Chains A and B, each alone.
Chain A
């Protein structure tokens, strides 16, 4: 006795043309069940995180940086798949020299993440839905530098540099949907949201250099430096929406916007209010291409 289990592939897949011959339909159905998708996205992010930390600066409403993402998604069976993605997002750096005040501001915030998730796909009429759960690794880098060339006290420079690195691991949940605009339309509206909570360590460093008038009317220079590593929890949520067009040859193009928010739950950091604040958010406009084979 030998038993072999098989899946019998037949029928017309959702969204396929009704008149498609069976042989082609079988091939399509097989492709639908057994496929790999490689997706890349690139765009520009902007944020007001500098103002949130330092206050309004001249000619600096938004800071801008680059966004990029690469994802590989592989089907398993019965609508299940897995996905690995790497994302880099720079919410911009500000290096602002202010002549009137005689100072310089240098801030920056960037994130890098690697996600792995397992997803379940649901297809009904023109709607595709994917629910996913998985793991994430998140790295954040944050910089805040502030210099005043002419005091206080008058005529003496003041410099403060605070930097922070965070590396955390945790879980993530996601939902992605796509609505095809008509039976044979190449256009679809897509939208998605995800949330992750990571636990990790914040490695924070602070350097301070300033002059101070002593009681003997002399000016003394002070240099302070502090370093601290603390446990921290970061909640990263993101939402996106956009338009997708099928270009044939299993290639689709996307244009969309996404919003990211990084919320910090700093436990006992001395620098918590200086470096992290409550949250940092940014918006990204991007384009993407996906190839399915």
Chain B
């Protein structure tokens, strides 16, 4: 009942959907969502579902579109969830009012600039996951980003989250992405975007965002958080929430 009444009350502002990454779960966004004056839908992504044997980016995007139906929503994603949100915005722009990508650049921009920027980190991790044997334990992030200075509590939390993940689902998801991310054009991005980025993120450094930030055709905003790593939504929820609230206020007018 509270959800229904909440929907009615906040419908004038539209709702926000939150998409977590890997490792992660819907409750990762609770602290960010609480201060927002919106109806917030936090999704447990299908790579947590123990019954899923095969998953792809297209499947996840189509499922979210089905959830949104004919609504017009703000999308907030972290890591892989942000990648999903990015492709959702391209495939179903009529559903996306705005897109907030936390600690993640648009994947096509990332891939286009990999060789030039010699970026490792997340790219190596993605390649490893795409070719990983699902019968073996999932590889740890740390071996790909030695510079990460993650809070030990966060490390434990992430480790526990990783155990919740269905390896078949997440590996086939990465495999589908590795087989071919559809090339996207920034010209099609009619919705405004916000990039929230931890300055110490070893996986996805700021240089990967520069091409998009500098693109005059893209309506995007950049919010940098000092002394924050890849898990900025967990370590700095108040700063993230503030930036998102301001961004929504401007977007909704």
Contacts and interface: CB of A to CB of B under 8 A. Distances in A.
Contact of B63 (A13, A26, A121): A26
Given A10-B46, A11-B59, A1 B36 contact: yes
A1 B44 contact: no
Interface residues of B, number: 42
A11 B67 CA distance: 14
A293 interface: no
A4 B63 contact: no
A221 interface: no
B2 to A, nearest CB: 7
B7 A2 contact: yes
B144 interface: no
Interface stretch (A14-22, A137-145, A156-164, A209-217): A14-22
B55 A32 contact: no
Nearest to B33: A3
Given A6-B44, A10-B55, A22-B59, A1 B49 contact: no
A139 B30 CA distance: 50
A95 interface: no
Contact of A13 (B35, B53, B60): B53
B49 A22 contact: no
The bracket for how many chain A residues form the interface is 20 to 34
B26 to A, nearest CB: 5
Given A2-B6, A3-B40, A9 B46 contact: yes
Contact of B9 (A2, A3, A22): A2
A2 B2 contact: yes
Contacts of B38: 1
Contacts of A13: 51-53
Contacts of A14: 51-53, 168
A18 B54 contact: yes
7 tightest CB-CB pairs across the interface, nearest first? A2-B6, A10-B63, A11-B52, A14-B53, A11-B55, A12-B54, A10-B46
Interface of A: 1-16, 18, 22, 25-26, 29, 32-33, 78-79, 121-124
Interface of B: 2-3, 6-7, 9-10, 26-27, 30, 33-46, 48-56, 59-60, 62-64, 66-67, 135, 168-169
11 contacts: A4-B6, A4-B40, A6-B44, A9-B49, A9-B63, A10-B62, A11-B52, A11-B56, A22-B62, A22-B63, A124-B168
